[in-house]
Amino acid sequence: MTLLASSATEHRGLTMTLFGVFVLATLVITVWAGRQNRSAADFYAGGRGFTGFQNGLAISGDYMSAASFLGIAGLIALNGYDGFLYSIGFLVAWLVALLLIAEPLRNSGRFTMADVLAFRMRQRPVRTAAGVSTIVVSIFYLLAQMVGAGALVALLLGVTGDGAKRWTILAVGALMIIYVVIGGMKGTTWVQIVKAVLLIIGAALMTVLVLAKYHFNPSELLGAAASASGKGTAFLEPGLKYGATGTSKLDFISLGIALVLGTAGLPHILVRFYTVPTAKTARKSVLWAIGIIGVFYLMTLALGFGAAALVGRSGMVAVEGKTPSGNTAAPLLAEQLGGGAGSPGGAIMLAVISAVAFATILAVVAGLTLASSASFAHDLYANVIRRGKATEKEEVLSAKWAAVAIGAVSIVLSLYAGKLSTAALVALAFAVAASANLPTLLYSLFWKRFTTAGAVSSVYAGLISSVVLVIFSPVLSGGKSSLFQGVDFHWFPLENPGLVSIPIGFLAGWLGTLLSPERPDPAKYAELEVRSLTGLGAH
């Protein structure tokens, strides 16, 4: 640890310079884009002027978060084969978004998910439920990014105390608020595009360097990782994390369901479909995103197993403590690839890759904050509180104030979540999104009988059940890596609630509809069906 700390301290100037260059460049982009915002459509949807490729890059930038770069590499380094399951789940999830959600959503909505839900139902209850759900999911996801930022900068500055992490979280929170308030969707999108390019280049460089160390022989790399892990061949087989007991196997199923179904319900991903001019372009952007994200997740194999072989659990323990989350695996691997701790090459690689990771965090938190603040302004303020009488100017102003408030809440919560894995936190956000948002979206788009009562029941039942199960799960208490050590108030045995909460969301929507005396207007459903499938009448 001493060597790592001294290395980081010696080259702190280089590190801070790289950070400063990126932050300055993104702020320039944000100010430039902000000057082009003339209307609510510009602020919420970037004027719907992005191409399929540009939006595909931006979606990739939104999706390849700190959990993808830092969290998954760490989980693979610590758990081998079972860690790679996160990569598979995140990638396969895009098929659900492509086949069921992307085109109908773009055709049916305007700015938020609630636009689709409220099209043929009573506005106020549905928009209230959707707005609350969007904000909760976004805050879960924001926690993961903030925790990743704290771990990253603490490593770079060579400090072990919580003070630096807290200042980092405050700085990231302040920057994300600035991006959203000044740049809106245009500024956020361009930041995400730049970040996606940097992340792919950084991951590709590390992948090539890892494979070069093992003569471009994946078998040799896997053998070295298994040997260094201390687990032998079990490191390369299923069951190291999810397989020791019946409960852990159920946890794996729960995780898989949440990852595969969660993407299609993530608010910051859904709003990206509104930034393109047509449904065809939305479909193209998802195809581009699948290709870019697929290549990236293949590279996480080399990053994770490379970290296992070259850094090892002991290297992460030295930096993170006795129960490492793995959040520092990728930066530590970069340092080793550059020549090791204390070497100029190691310092340069550590600084470059950490700057890329920091860029990743800034871009994703901006997207999340924009999605949640837009939902508050467009759904809760304009259509629930003001009953549709707010002007565009008032609506955009309320979105900016909402960004400040949501950023502040996320900062406060993040200060207490530093011990949790970023990938695990994101998996929880996926579970909440799949439980509360996806059932309601699918029922609304494809079930003629679906009612307002069904929509409200589905959102709240999925949201409340998933959040309550997380609170009383080993994530918070009763486990080796729980947030609260020394206390045990958990009664739900699984770390991910998806196996229980997702069916509850679907069941509540079905029961709420059947038990409701409301009779939906068939003409409104027919209009929604035509619009969602053809784009006629779309904004």
| Model pLDDT for residues 464-478, shown as the tens digit of each residue | 999 899 888 888 777
* Residue found under tokens 């079930």: 447
Rounded CA separation 372/273 (Å):
15
Token reading at 103: 């085109």
- State phi, psi for 484 to the nearest 5 degrees: -105, 105
Token reading at 408: 């502040």
Rounded CA separation 462/223 (Å):
43
Residues 334 and 353: beta-carbon distance below 8 Å: yes
List of residues 6+ apart from 298 with CB closer than 8 A: none
Rounded CA separation 223/233 (Å):
8
pLDDT at res. 113: 80
The model carries a pTM of 0.81
Rounded CA separation 206/307 (Å):
11
Residue 538: C-alpha distances to residues 44, 119, 145, 392, 500 (Å): 16, 12, 34, 19, 36
- State phi, psi for 451 to the nearest 5 degrees: -120, 175
Q: With a cut of 50, which residues of the chain have pLDDT below it?
A: 1-8
C-alpha of 107 from chain center: 24
Token reading at 278: 């047509």
Residues 40 and 373: beta-carbon distance below 8 Å: no
Q: Is 328 helix (H, G, I), strand (E, B) or coil?
A: coil
Residues 406 and 55: beta-carbon distance below 8 Å: no
pLDDT at res. 201: 92
Number of H helices, E strands in the chain: 25, 0
Rounded CA separation 271/352 (Å):
31
Rounded CA separation 198/195 (Å):
5
Token reading at 519: 């009779």
Q: Is 340 helix (H, G, I), strand (E, B) or coil?
A: coil
* Residue found under tokens 């992340």: 199
Nearest Cα to Cα of residue 148 among 253, 73, 50, 52: 73
Residues 100 and 273: beta-carbon distance below 8 Å: no
Nearest Cα to Cα of residue 403 among 382, 383, 375: 375
Residues 274 and 44: beta-carbon distance below 8 Å: yes
Rounded CA separation 255/382 (Å):
36
Rg (CA), the chain: 22
Token reading at 96: 């659900």
Residue 434: C-alpha distances to residues 67, 258, 274 (Å): 18, 6, 20
Rounded CA separation 371/406 (Å):
11
Rounded CA separation 368/118 (Å):
22
Residues 194 and 383: beta-carbon distance below 8 Å: no
Nearest Cα to Cα of residue 288 among 531, 50, 68: 50
Token reading at 263: 């993407």
List of residues 6+ apart from 25 with CB closer than 8 A: 194
Rounded CA separation 210/212 (Å):
5
Residues 469 and 251: beta-carbon distance below 8 Å: no
